[in-house]
Amino acid sequence: MIAADSLAIINHTHLPALLVVGLAIFFGTVGANIFQKLRIPQVVGYIFIGIIVGRSGLNLIDEEAIRSLRHFNFFALGVIGFMIGGELHLDLFKKYGRHFFVILLSEGMGAFFFVGGAVFVLVWLLLHDFNTALSLGLLLGAISSATAPAATVDVLWEYKTRGILTTTVFAIVALDDGLALVLYGIASTIAGVLLGQTTGSGYFAIISHTLYELLGAVVLGAGSGFLLSWILHRPYNREKSLTFVIGSLALIIGLTLILKVDLILSTMALGMTLANLIPRRSNIAFQMVESIAPPIYVLFFVVVGAGLHIAGMAAWIWYIAIVYVVARTLGKMIGAYLGARWTGAAQPVRKYLGYCLFSQAGVAVGLAILSGNIFGGDIGNSIVMIITATTFLVQIIGPPCVKYAVKRAGEVGLNVTEEDLMRAYKAGQMVSRETPAFTIRTPLAQILQTIADTDAMVYPVVDPQGRLAGLISILELRQSLADAQLAQWVVAYDLMLPPPDNIEENTPLDKAITTMKQQNLECLPVFAEAEDHRFLGLLELRKVNRQLSQEILRRRQASEA
Amino acid sequence: MKLVDYLTVDRVVKLEGATKTQALGQLIDVLSGGEPKVSRGELEKAVWHREGLMSTGIGNGLAIPHVRMADLKSSSMTVGVSREGISDYESLDPTPIKIIVLIAAPQGQHEIYLKLLAKVTQVLKHSQRREAIIAAESARQIYEILTGAQDDRG
C-alpha cells in the first residue's frame, strides 16, 4: 500500500527535466554496469532501465518528460551521426565502395522482401483483405530495411573493435537510413494508391519529398563541413575548438529540424567531410566530442527505452511483431551474406555482418509515426504498435548479436590506445620476469657478465631469504668500472641502491606509471599481494613502453589482416 | 677525484693489534670519533655485516673494508698500517694484510663511494707505493705517499 501510494505521488508530480536527466544517467549507468557484469553490451542495460522507469514501467519518465527531452535526443542522434561520419574515410569507399553498395542493397532488400512477404501472407490470412495486406506488407517491409546506427556502433565502441567487419558495419549502418527512406517513399506511394488515399500528384510529392530529405541532408552536412574545416584549419586552442564543434553540431541539427531533412545523414555528412578534408585536425575534434559523448548516449538510450509503450499491447500485435522480427532477421542475414558473397567480401563480413544489422530505432519509429499520420485508422495505429513492439525486441537481442559477431570475427579490443592498455593491465602482468636477480654476495665480475647477457637497465638484489635488498642500475655502475680489480672483491651489496617506492602486483598499470613519472623513476619493484608479500620483479618503464607499443602494433596488424 | 678531500693526517694510524677484530676496531674508533650522528656500535655492526658477506682483503697485503650508512656526515677514509701483518683477515691471496683502508660514505653519496673504492684500489695497485707506505716512519709520510701519488697524475 505504501509503495503504491508513493508511486501515485510520483505519478502526479511532473519531475523537472534536469532531475529526469540526472535520474536517467544515474540509473542507466548502474543498469549498464549490471549488464556488463553479465557480459551483455551496456546499451541493453540503458534501454532496459529506460523501460523500467518509462511508460511501460514506473512512469517516472512519462510522455511529458520524454517530450521535454526531445531536443536533447536530436542532439544525441546528431553526435552519433557525426561520430560515424568520422569513421568514413574516402579511401575506404574507393577500396570497398562497390562492396558496401551491393551489400547495402542486398541486406536492405532482403529485409524488405522477407518482412513484406511474411506480413502480407499473415495479414491476408487473418483479414482476407488483399489491399490492406499488401499495403501493410510494403510499409513494414520498407521500414524494416532501416538499421539503427546508435545501438550498433555503441557496441563497437564499447568493445573497441577494429577490422574489416567493423568498417563494413560503420558504412552500412551509415547508409541504410537513406535506402530505408527511398524504399518507404516508394512503398507509401503504392500503399496510398491501394488504400485509395493518394491521387496522381501524390506520387510526385512523396518521391520528391524523399529526395529532398536525403539530398538536402547531404548538401547541408557537407556544406557545413567545408565551412567548418576552413575555420578549424586556423590555429585555435583546444577549449575553443570544442566549443566551436559542439556549437556547429547544434546549429546543423537545428537547421535539419527547420529544413525537415534527415538528421543523422546530415551530421554524418558533416563528420565525413571533416574527417576527409582535415584528417589530423578533425581527429582532435572527434576525440573531444567522444570524450563528452558518454552521458549523452546514456540519456539517449534510457529515453529510447522509456518511450517504448509496450505494456498492455494486444496479443495479435505481438504475433505480427514476432513474425516481423524473424522475417527481418532472416532477410538481413541472408541478404548480407549474399551481398558479401557476390562482391567477394572478406570471410568475417560474409559470416558475421548479418548479425550486426538487427538494431532498429529512430528512423523506423519515425517512419511508423509518419505512417500513422498519413494513413490513420487501424493501419496507421497497428504500424506504430508493431514497430514499437519489434523495436523493443530487436533492441534487446540486437546488441548481444553485434557483440557475438565482432567477437567471432576477432575484432574485439583491436582499436585501443596505450592509455586503454595501461588501464586494462595490472603492474604484475608487466613485471620483467626474465631479468635475473643478484644476491647481495654476487661479485661485480659476475654482475658484469650477467649484464652483458641480458638487456635490463636495472637489476634487483635479494638477500638470502629472497627479500628485495636493493637495486643495481647500469648507469650508476659506470663508476665501478674504472678499475678492473674491483670486479674481484666488490659485491652486489656494495653496488646496490635502496629500492625507491614499491607497489603491489594488482595495482593498475596506469597508476604504477603515474607513480614512476611523478618520482622520476626508471623502475619500480613489484610485490605479491599475498601475505608473504614476496618480491616478484621489477616494473621497468622502458620495457613497459616497448611492450605496449608492440601490443598496439600487434592489434593493428591483426585488424588489417 | 682527489684523495686529499677524503683523508686527513689524523686518520692515518699505526695498527696496534695483530688480529682482524683488533685492527678494524681501532680504525672504527678513529672514524667514529668524527661522526656525531653515528654511534661506534652502529658503525662496527655495518662493517662486520659487510665482512660477513665476503672479506674485503683484496690481496697483495691490502684490505679495503667499506660501508654506506644513512647518517654519516660525509664520505671519508681511515688508513691503518701494520708492519707485522694481520694473518686472520682472509684475503684473495695468502699474504697477511699490512694496509687497511676503511671507507665510509653516506647512503646518498653512492657515486663518490664507488669512485673512492676505485681510486684507492688504483693508487695502491703499485707495489713500490705499498712498500713505501709500510716502511714509512710517520703518519704524515703515509698521508703524503697516498695523496701525493694521485697528485702526480693531475
Give the pLDDT score at B78.
Answer: 92
Cα-Cα end-to-end distance for chain B: 10
Cβ distance of B54 and A491 shorter than 8 Å? yes
Give the pLDDT score at A423.
Answer: 80
Of A476, A480, A493, the CB nearest to B50: A493
Q: For A379-390, what is each residue's pLDDT tens digit?
A: 777 787 788 778
Give the pLDDT score at A236.
Answer: 61
Residue of chain A nearest B104, judged by CA positions: A494
Residues A360 and A221 in one domain: yes
pLDDT at A398 over 50: yes
The complex's ipTM? 0.84
User: Is any Cβ of chain B less than 8 angstroms from the Cβ of A445?
Assistant: no
Cβ distance of A498 and B107 shorter than 8 Å? yes
Residues A348 and A431 in one domain: no
Range of weakest confidence among A37-41, B28-32, B68-72: A37-41
* CATH number of A461's domain: 3.10.580.10
- When pLDDT is averaged across residues A40-54 and rounded to a whole number, the result is 80
Cβ distance of B110 and A497 shorter than 8 Å? yes
Q: For chain A, what is the domain count? A: 2
- When pLDDT is averaged across residues A499-506 and rounded to a whole number, the result is 80
Q: Give how far B102 is from chain A: nearest CA, Å.
A: 14
Cβ–Cβ < 8 Å for A557, A410:
no
Kindly report the pTM of this predicted structure. 0.61
Long-range pairs for A371-379: beta carbons < 8 A, 24 or more residues apart: A371/A139, A371/A143, A371/A188, A374/A188, A374/A192, A374/A197, A375/A135, A375/A139, A375/A191, A375/A195, A375/A197, A379/A132, A379/A135, A379/A136, A379/A139, A379/A195
Q: Give how far A441 is from chain B: nearest CA, Å.
A: 6
Asked if residue A32 belongs to a domain, the reply is no
Q: For A179-237, what is each residue's pLDDT tens digit?
A: 887 787 778 777 777 777 655 556 677 677 778 888 888 899 999 998 888 877 776 66
Asked if residue A262 belongs to a domain, the reply is yes
Residue of chain A nearest B57, judged by CA positions: A489
Cβ–Cβ < 8 Å for A350, A341:
yes
Asked if residue A28 belongs to a domain, the reply is no
Q: For A174-188, what is each residue's pLDDT tens digit?
A: 777 778 877 877 787
Cβ distance of A483 and B121 shorter than 8 Å? yes
Domain's final residue, options A372, A390, A410: A410
Range of weakest confidence among A62-66, A554-558, B17-21: A554-558
Cβ distance of A479 and B58 shorter than 8 Å? no
User: Is any Cβ of chain B less than 8 angstroms from the Cβ of A491?
Assistant: yes
pLDDT at A247 over 70: yes
Of A479, A485, A493, the CB nearest to B53: A493
More confidently predicted of B131 and A98: B131
Give the pLDDT score at B123.
Answer: 87
Asked if residue A16 belongs to a domain, the reply is no
More confidently predicted of A120 and A176: A120
User: Is any Cβ of chain B less than 8 angstroms from the Cβ of A482?
Assistant: yes
Asked if residue A216 belongs to a domain, the reply is yes
Residues A377 and A463 in one domain: no
- When pLDDT is averaged across residues B123-141 and rounded to a whole number, the result is 89
- When pLDDT is averaged across residues B6-30 and rounded to a whole number, the result is 90
Give the pLDDT score at B110.
Answer: 81
Is residue A253 very low, low, confident or very high in pLDDT (cuts 50, 70, 90)? Answer: very high
Contacting residues of A for B60, CB less than 8 Å apart: none
Residues A468 and A505 in one domain: yes
Give the pLDDT score at B153.
Answer: 38
More confidently predicted of A547 and A330: A330
Residues A471 and A539 in one domain: yes
C-alpha cell at A236: 585555435
pLDDT at A1 over 70: no
pLDDT at A367 over 90: no
- When pLDDT is averaged across residues B89-108 and rounded to a whole number, the result is 89
pLDDT at A26 over 70: yes
Is residue A117 very low, low, confident or very high in pLDDT (cuts 50, 70, 90)? Answer: very high
Cβ–Cβ < 8 Å for B110, B65:
no
Domain's final residue, options A346, A380, A410: A410
User: Is any Cβ of chain A less than 8 angstroms from the Cβ of B69?
Assistant: no
Give the pLDDT score at A254.
Answer: 93
| Domain that residue A139 falls in | 42-410
Cβ–Cβ < 8 Å for A408, A352:
yes
Asked if residue A416 belongs to a domain, the reply is no
User: Is any Cβ of chain B less than 8 angstroms from the Cβ of A441?
Assistant: yes
Residues A400 and A481 in one domain: no
Cβ distance of B117 and A440 shorter than 8 Å? no
Residue % of chain A over a pLDDT of 90? 7
Asked if residue A117 belongs to a domain, the reply is yes
Widest Cα–Cα separation across chain A: 107
pLDDT at A8 over 50: no
Is residue B154 very low, low, confident or very high in pLDDT (cuts 50, 70, 90)? Answer: very low
Residue A60: CB atoms within 10 Å: 20
Residue of chain A nearest B64, judged by CA positions: A489
Residue % of chain A over a pLDDT of 70? 91
Q: HEC profile for A419-461?
A: HHHHHHCEHHHHCECCCCCEECCCEHHHHHHHHHHCCCCEEEE
Asked if residue A23 belongs to a domain, the reply is no
Closest to A560 in 3D by CA, of A167, A265, A222: A167
A367 burial level (CB within 10 Å; 0-12, 13-18, 19+)? buried
Range of weakest confidence among A326-330, A489-493, B47-51: A489-493
Residues A397 and A432 in one domain: no
* CATH number of A152's domain: 1.20.1530.20
Domain's final residue, options A358, A376, A410: A410
User: Is any Cβ of chain A less than 8 angstroms from the Cβ of B93?
Assistant: no
Contacting residues of A for B122, CB less than 8 Å apart: 482-483
User: Is any Cβ of chain A less than 8 angstroms from the Cβ of B127?
Assistant: no
Residue of chain B nearest A440, judged by CA positions: B53
Residues A390 and A479 in one domain: no
User: Is any Cβ of chain B less than 8 angstroms from the Cβ of A493?
Assistant: yes
Residues A379 and A448 in one domain: no
Of B59, B68, B117, the CB nearest to A486: B117
Contacting residues of A for B111, CB less than 8 Å apart: 476, 479
Residue A385: CB atoms within 10 Å: 21
Q: For A419-461, what is each residue's pLDDT tens digit?
A: 777 787 887 777 877 778 888 888 888 888 888 788 777 888 8
On average, the pLDDT of chain A sits at 80
Residues A492 and A350 in one domain: no
Is residue B103 very low, low, confident or very high in pLDDT (cuts 50, 70, 90)? Answer: very high
Distance CA A233, CA A271 (A): 15
Cβ distance of B115 and A486 shorter than 8 Å? no
pLDDT at B31 over 50: yes
Is residue A9 very low, low, confident or very high in pLDDT (cuts 50, 70, 90)? Answer: very low
Cβ distance of B92 and A488 shorter than 8 Å? yes
User: Is any Cβ of chain A less than 8 angstroms from the Cβ of B94?
Assistant: no
Residues A49 and A74 in one domain: yes
Give the pLDDT score at B4.
Answer: 85
Give the pLDDT score at A483.
Answer: 64
Domains of chain B and any CATH numbers: 3-151 (3.40.930.10)
Residues A196 and A216 in one domain: yes
Residue of chain A nearest B47, judged by CA positions: A494
